[in-house]
Structure 1
Amino acid sequence: MDALADLLDGPRARGAFMLRSTLSPPWSIRIQDEAPLTLVSMVGDEAWLIPDGGEPQRAGPGDMVIFRGPDPYTVSDDPATEPQIVIHPGQVCTTPDGTSLSEAMDLGVRAWGNDPDGTAVMLIGAYQLKGAVTRRLLSALPAMAVVRGDTWRSPLVDVLQDEIGRDEPGQDVVLDRLLDLLLIATLRAWFSRPDAEAPGWYRAHGDPVVGPALRLLHDDLTHPWTVAGLAAGTGVSRAALAQRFTKLIGEPPMAYLTGIRLAQAADLLRESDATLDAVARQVGYGTAFALSTAFKREHGVSPQEYRTARPAATA
């Protein structure tokens, strides 16, 4: 397992918000739903993407856009068009003055917009889950990432467009998994751009020394790793591994491993009913006490306090 796969192997889409939007100009939508991550595929026509405090960018057919929450942003036919629609938490849809638009914009099964034959067509998938592992991934992304359609191709967009309007048993699970796959494909395309400012763990994946070390760590987080053990597994000296790992990743091997373990522990605490002892074993700590000590040092609260706190308080 590599670092990207490990990050995406925790909080997967579960009951993600999925929609096919068709719009005719003029249109402008203010998004303030606080979703931690939203993926948009521009299928037809074009749209302007306007992050708060950022420069507008145009998205055309074939482009993929990742919005990192929870900050609001606007999507419109033209940067000059004033917002007519506001999307609130829970996907509540209103006018700017608060009048409900839920029925007026409903065009059928997972279909939404101001015109069923509108030229602007977007496929939208919003992750609702706020998990700690996801937060590590989000920290590696800008507020808005655009992957241009002329730089990549994926058959997943066509599959998603075919599936999004179906109303069959198990359809939500099908769409969740398609969203996960499309997100991974988009992230790969984003991080592999020649001008990408990819995080250190992604760039280091191809390094002949640090890459194998990362794979060893992510293949078995519960192993009692030491720098010496990693060095032996990669065929270099401890000093050489530590120096190269720190240079490429930005932190020493054991600090990186601790961060991954504690992030996974935080995710398990929020998303499962596992006991603290069980969580400790799953992430490589010998005892619940050892995990609690490291967890409080990292997060400032005990595992139990983290588990019972409101998500917004510790996001």
Structure 2
Amino acid sequence: MDVLANLLDGPRARGAFLLKAVLDPPWSIHVRDEAPLAVLTMVRGGGWVIPDGDEPMRVNVGDVLVVRGVRPYIVADDPATPPQVVIHPGDHCTTLWGEPLAEKLGLGVRTWGHNVDGGTMMLIGTYHMSGEVTRRLLDALPRTLIVPAGSWHSPVVPILAEEIVKDEPGQSVVLDRLLDLLLITVLRAWFAHDDARTPLWYRAHGDPVVGAALRMIYNDPAHPWTVASLADATGVSRATFARRFTELVGESPMAFLTGWRLALAADLLQEPETTVGSVARKVGYGSSFALSAAFKRVRGVSPQEHREALAGQRR
């Protein structure tokens, strides 16, 4: 397993909000859905994204826009066009005056706009959940990033455009997986750019020693890893391994291992059927007490308090 696989290995898209918007100028959408992550691909035409408090950014045909965080933003044909549509929390879409968008601009399954041949066509997908496993990578992303057309290649966009308007058994699962694939493909292209602000731990995956150790940790977090065992497995001395890992990753091997295990635990605790004991065994702690002590020490709350807080957010 590599770092990009870890991005969605926890809470993948589940019943994600997906929409095809077909619009003619002037148009402007005020996104206030508080979703932790959104992906927009410009299939036809172009527009602008105006993050709250930031400068407008141009989105051209074939570009993919990724927006991280819950702050509002506007997508419009022109930065000067006032909002006409609002996307609220819970994927509730209305006109500026509160009229349900499905009644006002509905064009079919998961489609709304002015007409089916509108000059601008966008595919929009939003994730409702963000997990602790994903946070390590998502925190490395800027609030808004655009991957330009021509810098990535994948057949997923035309497939998504075809599937998004279908209403067949299991369709939500199909769309969730296509959204995951689009996100992974786009982020892989973005991180490959020389000017991408990649975190130390991401770049360390290219090192033959530290990268191998990171993959071992990711693949088997429950293993009783030590600095000595990781050094032995990568073929270097303990001192060399510890120094090299800390220099490239920005923290010691054991600090990284602890953070990864607790991130996994925080993710697994979102599943209501899991127990603290079962989570502890999966992430390398011998008992629920050991996990609880580490969780409390590092995160300031117990696993149970963390789980209760998550449940409260869903209500």
CA distance, structure 2, for counterparts of residue 38 and residue 261 of structure 1: 27
| Further displaced range: 131-140 or 214-223 | 131-140
CA distance, structure 1, for counterparts of residue 245 and residue 272 of structure 2: 33
8 Å contact from structure 1 (residues 19, 125) kept in 2: yes
Give, as a single letter, the amino acid of the residue that structure 2 aligns with 1:156: V
Structure 1 residue aligned with 2:13: 13
Give, as a single letter, the amino acid of the residue that structure 1 aligns with 2:271: E
Deviation at 1:156, TM superposition (A): 0.9
| Identical counterparts, % of pairs | 61
List per-residue Cα deviations over 1:189-231 (Å, max 9, x = no partner).
0111011111222211111111111111111100000011111
Secondary structure, counterpart of 1:198 in structure 2: coil
Deviation at 1:171, TM superposition (A): 0.9
List per-residue Cα deviations over 1:85-109 (Å, max 9, x = no partner).
1111011122334343331122111
Give yes or no for the alignment of 1:188 onto 2:185.
Answer: no
| Further displaced range: 241-250 or 37-46 | 241-250
Gaps of 5+ in 1: none
Give, as a single letter, the amino acid of the residue that structure 1 aligns with 2:68: R
Return closer, same or farther for 1:157/1:87 CA change in 2, 3 Å cut-off: same
Structure 2 residue aligned with 1:292: 292
Q: TM-score, normalised by structure 2?
A: 0.96
Structure 1 residue aligned with 2:104: 104
Structure 2 residue aligned with 1:142: 142
Aligned length: 314
Deviation at 1:312, TM superposition (A): 7.2
What is the RMSD computed on CA atoms of the aligned residues?
A: 1.5
CA distance, structure 1, for counterparts of residue 23 and residue 244 of structure 2: 51
CA distance, structure 2, for counterparts of residue 114 and residue 248 of structure 1: 52
Secondary structure, counterpart of 2:79 in structure 1: coil
Structure 2 residue aligned with 1:179: 179
List per-residue Cα deviations over 1:115-136 (Å, max 9, x = no partner).
3221111111111113222222
Q: TM-score, normalised by structure 1?
A: 0.96
CA distance, structure 2, for counterparts of residue 67 and residue 152 of structure 1: 18
Structure 2 residue aligned with 1:126: 126
Secondary structure, counterpart of 1:270 in structure 2: coil
Deviation at 1:7, TM superposition (A): 3.2
Gaps of 5+ in 2: none
CA distance, structure 2, for counterparts of residue 105 and residue 304 of structure 1: 45
8 Å contact from structure 2 (residues 37, 127) kept in 1: yes
CA distance, structure 2, for counterparts of residue 313 and residue 104 of structure 1: 31
Give yes or no for the alignment of 1:152 onto 2:152.
Answer: yes
Deviation at 1:6, TM superposition (A): 2.2
Secondary structure, counterpart of 1:103 in structure 2: helix
List per-residue Cα deviations over 1:48-89 (Å, max 9, x = no partner).
011111111111111111110211111000011111111110
Secondary structure, counterpart of 1:271 in structure 2: coil
CA distance, structure 1, for counterparts of residue 170 and residue 99 of structure 2: 33
What pairs up with 1:161-176 in 2 under 5 angstroms? Answer: 161-176=161-176
Structure 1 residue aligned with 2:233: 233
CA distance, structure 2, for counterparts of residue 103 and residue 137 of structure 1: 39
Secondary structure, counterpart of 2:269 in structure 1: helix
Deviation at 1:310, TM superposition (A): 4.3
